[in-house]
Amino acid sequence: MLDKEEYQLIIDASVLYYLEGKTQSEVAKTLYLSRPKVSRLLKKARELQIVDITINYQNDEFEKLQSEIRRTFDLPHVVISKTLSDKNDTLTEVGKAAAKELLMLLHEDMTLGISWGKHVRTTAKYLKKTAYDNMRIVELFGAISYDMDQTDMLSIGRSISSKLGGKLYPLPSPIYINDPIARKAIVETPLIKGTLNMIENCDLILTGIGSIYSNTLQTLWDNYVDNEMKSQIVKNGGIGFVLAHFFDQNGNFLDMEVNDNVIGIKTESIKNKKIIAVASGEKKAKAILGALRGGLIDTLVSDEATLNYVLQLNEKLK
């Protein structure tokens, strides 16, 4: 937690450096600080989003790629960020672009459904604080583990609700319940039933797109999906998942128990909701391609290299 004096120093250094165009040495001299101290203050300003640096990457190549993605997959909207040499930096750029896009879609008196994962978490991180009246944030399915880090929905939901001035509605249930009697009993409890009704009526969904080859999926394998079911998912052509539901290369949801057993949003609702998906990386390209082919999303936020690879895969896998 910063004290008032440190915070004011960050503001003063940022104004002198970014707005007045002084060098770090000149800032140091003005504020009677060392140059390394000024460098640390400026870094902290970016980390705390006191300073928000935006680079407009839009150019002819981006516009051409956007048009090709929209035309090829009949996708209403695509947002492209620059691919950087470090994958974590690329993730940051994708998250910033997604946060900006999400704010353009939000309005008062609406329900935002959320998923989990590093892309959604990064989007939440870079959301600007903007208060909306009667904003509801609802978890779209149950928990995948008791031992999740900040990629889980509860952490993400708290972050988003605090920035949007909304109320968070968790779904306190396991993500999958295989026993039909137990599942029926749980979904009929007043708390769960109320949240499920809210899910059915949500106005907008923010989600990632998962690959069956991703590290994130290992948590699902370990906690809910046994080896036999995993083999069946692969055997049935499963290549990715969105909102806890597995789909094939053409974006068709698998006709399997694992999808039927989700406590949360159902496949029929996914097809009818307005969805903004945030995903990047070569490992996710097949899953992104499947989601695009199946028309599962309305807006895709990704990076230049990933989308070019998706187009290449689309030609190869015709």
Distance (Å, whole) CA 9 – CA 120: 32
pLDDT digits (tens, 9 = 90+) for 26-67: 988 898 888 888 889 888 888 887 887 766 666 678 889 999
Q: Which two tokens stand for residue 84?
A: 């950087």
Largest CA distance in the chain: 72
Q: Which two tokens stand for residue 96?
A: 């910033």
**Topology (CATH level 3) of domain 60-316:** Rossmann fold (3.40.50)
The predicted pLDDT at position 150 comes to 44
Distance (Å, whole) CA 265 – CA 262: 8
* Angle made by CA atoms 284, 290, 291, in degrees to the nearest 5: 90
DSSP 8-state code for residue 283:
G
Distance (Å, whole) CA 83 – CA 308: 11
Q: What percent of the chain has pLDDT over 90?
A: 64
Confidence of residue 308 (pLDDT cuts 50, 70, 90): very high
Tell me the range of 11-25, 137-151, 248-262 where mean pLDDT is highest: 248-262
pLDDT digits (tens, 9 = 90+) for 275-307: 999 999 999 999 999 999 999 999 999 999 999
pLDDT digits (tens, 9 = 90+) for 213-233: 776 666 666 667 777 888 899
What mean pLDDT is reported for the chain?
Answer: 89
Distance (Å, whole) CA 289 – CA 187: 33
Confidence of residue 6 (pLDDT cuts 50, 70, 90): confident
Q: Give CATH for domain 4-47.
A: 1.10.10
- Domain ranges across the chain: 4-47, 60-316
Distances (CA, A) of 156 to 146, 177, 181, 264, 265: 15, 23, 31, 17, 18
Those residues with Cβ within 8 angstroms of residue 230's Cβ, 6 or more apart along the chain or in another chain: 221
**3-class secondary structure, 93:** helix
Residue ranges of alpha helices (H) inside the chain are 4-14, 24-31, 35-47, 60-73, 87-105, 118-125, 153-164, 180-187, 190-200, 217-223, 227-235, 257-260, 267-272, 285-293, 304-316
Half-sphere exposure of 54 (CA within 13 A, CB side): 10
Distance (Å, whole) CA 73 – CA 293: 6
Distances (CA, A) of 207 to 19, 43, 78, 119, 220: 36, 30, 14, 8, 17
Residue 77 Ramachandran class (φ > 0 left, ψ -120 to 50 alpha, else beta)? beta
